[in-house]
Amino acid sequence: MFDRSSQTLPGTGERGMASKRYVLEIDGLSKRYGRVEALDDVSLQLPMGEIWGVLGPNGSGKSTLLKCIAGLVKPDEGSIRINGLSPSRATKSVVAFVPEINTMYRWMTVAEVMSFAAAFYQDWSKERAQELMEFMRLEPGKKVGSLSKGMRARLRLILGMARDAQLVLLDEPLSGIDPASRDRIVEGIARQFDGEGRSIVLSTHAVDETERLFDTVMFLRDGHIELIGNAEELRIQRGKSINDLFKEVYA
Amino acid sequence: MKVEFDQSRPIYLQIIEDIKRQIATGVLKPGDKLPSQRDLAVQLQVNANTVQRAYREMELLGIVETLRGQGTFVRAERSIVEETRGDMVSTLVEEFVTAMQALGYDAEAILLHVRQKLADTAGNGGERNGK
């Protein structure tokens, strides 16, 4: 009754026969730093309502790709379209970029960071921020400087997820933090994502903890796409986890 | 709560298997409401699209039905339990027989092992019941 091979549907994160709307379209993107090819002819189309994992070791171009999409790095070649527009002032309200490093003032309290963000971002949702803050077990009165690395990573995630941005870019949200915080962050993402109205691009090399979140995974190597596909289809085709596939690709 | 998946197999299939198991063992009964897709995604810590795919496949398989605005329910027919059980039994038997054949056992030997195991189990069960 249940034939695994015939039950699988082609394509990525297919949502019936409805035509896809792409929130992000990249064509032939390249970026060079001196002699290093940070991005080499990257092309992709990200439909609305999906979570993508950008996977690769350090220096594979993950961060550069996210920064190009956020409009923080100017590519040498190729085009980026966010809702049909080039990265600019207009797309800043569509894209929420959460960097790997801290950009919050150490002397601010968690509550102050929240009200600062509420004033700064027009699409800030106070209710969602509150809900996330409770879920992440962040104490409003604590100063950023006194938070552990894990707690600061949780706070960063809120800065991205509490906005009504259509495209959320999370750069290495799990890097260098404790397992409990990793779990909270993965669960927080699952909680805030409903498959509608928003897409998330998450770069990481912590594949084991995050792979259950992804519709599509993209493996980067030396700035080019080594492999891209629907996570469930890859599990069917290769008979292994994305994490094992990751180890195989970068062996 | 964190649910462990075998990440080498599609997650949506494992969600389907889990719900079928619940139907086959009577945890979920015909007509029972399934958790909302959103709630299940949060509970399992997976992408909402993965749960959506599992629910859609189960609809195609005739295990559940979605009523507009009300949610997803185990199909109300009693036969759905028998069908699901039958389905699981064929899978289990097929896996077992395939594994035994791979080890080089023929039909006779397989049956012998099954009978022996059943006799052992019946013996143990009898002792327990006798207490």
Q: Within this chain, do residues B86 and B63 fall inside the same structural domain, yes or no?
A: no
pLDDT tens-digit map of A159-184 = 999 999 999 999 999 988 999 999 99
Q: Which domain holds residue B104?
A: 80-130
Label residue A242 by pLDDT band (50, 70, 90). very high
pLDDT tens per residue across span A55-91: 999 889 999 999 999 999 999 999 999 999 998 888 8
Whether the pLDDT of residue A12 is over 90: the answer is no
Any domain includes B5 = no
Q: Are residues B16 and B71 in the same domain?
A: yes
Which is higher by pLDDT, A250 or A52? A52
Return the structure tokens found at A200: 């998330």
Contact A51 B47 (CB under 8 A): yes
> What is the mean pLDDT of the segment spanning A91-112?
89
Count of structural domains, chain B: 2
Chain A residues within an 8 Å CB radius of B50: 212, 215, 232
pLDDT digits (tens, 9 = 90+) for B26-75: 999 999 999 999 999 999 999 999 999 999 999 999 999 999 889 999 99
Total Cβ atoms within 10 A of residue B78: 11
Q: Residues B54, B93: one domain?
A: no
Domain boundaries, chain A: 19-249
Looking at residue A213, what is its pLDDT? 95
CATH architecture of A19-249: 3-Layer(aba) Sandwich (3.40)
- Structural domain includes residue B3: no
Among all chains, which residue has been given the structure tokens 């990200």?
A: A46
Examine the domain organization and report whether B97 and B117 are in the same domain: yes
Question: Best residue in B3, B15, B39, B50 to probe A by mutation, most A CBs within 10 Å?
Answer: B50
Residues A15-27: tens digit of each pLDDT: 444 567 999 999 9
CA pair distance A214, A204, nearest whole angstrom: 12
- CATH code assigned at B34: 1.10.10.10
- SS3 of chain A: the string is CCCHHHHCCCCCCCCCCCCCCEEEEEEEEEEEECCEEEEEEEEEEEECCCEEEEECCCCCCHHHHHHHHHCCCCCCEEEEEECCECCCHHHHCCEEEECCCCCCCCCCEHHHHHHHHHHHCCCECHHHHHHHHHHCCCCCCCEHHHCCHHHHHHHHHHHHHCECCCEEEEECCCCCCCHHHHHHHHHHHHHHCCCCCCEEEEEECCHHHHHHHCCEEEEEECCEEEEEEEHHHHHHHHCCCHHHHHHHHCC
Q: In the predicted model, what is the mean pLDDT of residues A30-55?
A: 95
Residue B1 domain flag: no
Do B20 and B63 reside in the same domain of the chain? Answer: yes
CA distance B61 to chain A (A): 8
With respect to residue B66, please indicate whether it lies within any of the assigned structural domains: yes
Asked if the ipTM is above 0.90, the reply is: no
Statement: residue A9 has pLDDT above 80: no
pLDDT of residue A19: 62
Q: How confident is the model at residue A251 (pLDDT cuts 50, 70, 90)?
A: confident
B93, containing H or E segment: helix B79-102
Task: Tell me: do B50 and B98 sit in the same domain.
Answer: no
CB neighbourhood size of A124 (10 A): 18
Task: Give residue A226's pLDDT.
Answer: 95
**At which of B52, B77, B102 does a domain end?**
B77
Percent over 90 (pLDDT), chain B? 73
What does DSSP assign to residue B95? H
Rounded to the nearest angstrom, the minimum Cα separation between A20 and chain B is: 14
Under an 8 A CB cutoff, do B8 and A194 touch? no
CA distance A145 to chain B (A): 30
Given an 8 Å threshold on Cβ–Cβ distance, is A213 in contact with B46?
A: yes
Domain membership flag for residue B50: yes
